[in-house]
Amino acid sequence: MTTVDEHDLIFAGVALQARLVRDREVSPRELVALHLERIARLDPVLNAFRVVLADRAMAEAAHVERRLAAGETMPLAGVPIAVKDDTDVAGVSSMCGTGIDTGPASTDSAAVRRLRAAGAVIVGKTHLPEFGAYPMCESPTWGVTRNPWHPHRTAGGSSGGSAAAVAAGMVPGALGTDGGGSIRIPAACCGLVGLKGQRGWISTKQSPERAYRFHGLHHIGTLARSVADAALLHDAMTGPEPDDEIPFPPPVPPLTDAVSRAPRPLRIAMSFKPVVPVPVSEEVRRPVLETAELLRSLGHEVVELDPRYPPAAVLSVFALMMNGLAHEIDRLPTPELLERRIRAEGRTARLVPDWLARRALAARDRLSERGLRPVAGCDMLMTPVLGKPPVPVGHLEGLGPGRALARTLAFMPFTPPQNFTGQPAMSIPAGISPDGLPEAVHLVGRPHDGSTLVSLAAQLESARPWAHRQPPAARYRAPA
């Protein structure tokens, strides 16, 4: 076993763990076993995992050892990774937060296949709300996923299980998906880096029996403790696949190349304008203002400018989301087993015909350009991630679709536009509040410019380190 302290190893992060494996300081089986033990200890409290693949993970770790012995070089050699339960892993059902089992996936999704090729070991699949429809990771079937910083607050969603697992040190990194902020929101709630790249950089292709139909709103991305780790995981999954839903955009240099490169002086638009008219609390405004001062001290210009959210664009996002939800529900053998609120949403979703979704899709580029025109002269947009701090567990309990939507929009009014425009965006930590909850800011890059986004985020991390912060998860007992 390595001479590195076990606790330090758990929180070493993706890149350092992979390096320790390559340097023979720790074996893949030792590393995976250490994280499986931590999952066994903490997951009964936090409820991050839908299924833990312990035996398979140990077998995969042994396979990685044989690849290393044969001289293969792998950027993620032996690193344990969790996968959100809407993304296919061969031989495991993708429950998508529901209680409906449509059978095990016949193959890995493209993203998971690429992670394995890079040497990652898949240790399990993580919770989400039904179909990722809400930004809180709670469902009637699988219960509540707890925030490792405060077990009575939401871990965010919909990639809440992945975020809780990384924040608590159950894995050093995880795959998440983002259809309107579902990586960035839980990253903000759990004190992590949440990276959603440019639309099309990571293929959303699933096993042959499954296909996403969310019209390009759905992105696959990463959750990790540092910018470098998030970029490394993202790079491992990047690349086109035959018959992709979204054509692969022009190739870009690896995002990891940008981590150690300081950005040139940038012009950054700071905005507190939400996509819908909801209050924005002082608790989430303050970290953005403090980050603006830090950016100015680093030589950047920060100006207050708002993007425009045309009503037609907001309606288009709604139409695409609802039409996609209707198609997801229609593929289920027993939709009557869905929670009551999702069944009601499904009835509304079926009112959005395919032709209307196609029309919204055709107008996407034009509406995106119009909305971004006010900030077109800037290199970056900075906003809060959330409209308020992480809400208590049960925030939507007992609410019908209308009231739940109102509360949802009040919580997440800044992240959906980037799924429509396709821009790269990320949530980065910005400190700890007096209540002991993580604070965050939201950085949005220009279309296709992930390098500047990652470079700026890494510069902020260097000036205001955060990866060393750890939640008190190991001391948790089950909440009353």
Please report, for the chain, the start and end positions of each structural domain, with discontinuous segments joined by +: 6-475
Reduced to 3 states, what is the DSSP secondary structure of residue 252? coil
Concerning whether 158 is annotated as a catalytic residue, the answer is: yes
pLDDT at position 210:
77
Q: Is 78 left (phi over 0), alpha (psi -120 to 50) or beta?
A: left
Catalytic position from the list 109, 158, 203, 207: 158
Concerning whether 125 is annotated as a catalytic residue, the answer is: no
pLDDT at position 480:
47
Concerning whether 205 is annotated as a catalytic residue, the answer is: no
pLDDT at position 220:
96
Catalytic position from the list 27, 109, 162, 182: 182
pLDDT at position 245:
78
Global pTM reads 0.97
pLDDT at position 2:
59
Check if the beta carbon of residue 162 is closer than 8 Å to that of residue 186: yes
Please name which of 268, 168, 252 lies closest in space to residue 473, comparing C-alpha atoms. Answer: 168
Cα 116–Cα 41–Cα 438 angle in degrees, nearest 5: 80
**Residue segments in the chain with a per-residue pLDDT below the cut of 70:** 1-3, 211-213, 474-480
Please name which of 149, 123, 147 lies closest in space to residue 137, comparing C-alpha atoms. Answer: 147
Task: Work out the number of other CB atoms within 10 angstroms of the CB of residue 152.
Answer: 13
Cis peptide before 462 (omega within 30 of 0): no
User: Count of residues for the chain?
Assistant: 480
Catalytic position from the list 84, 125, 196, 205: 84
pLDDT at position 476:
54
CATH topology of domain 6-475: Amidase signature (AS) enzymes (3.90.1300)
* Strands 425-432 vs 193-196: parallel, antiparallel or unpaired: antiparallel
pLDDT at position 212:
59
* Strands 80-84 vs 138-139: parallel, antiparallel or unpaired: unpaired
First to last CA, the chain: 38
Cα(195)–Cα(381) distance, integer angstroms? 15
pLDDT at position 294:
98
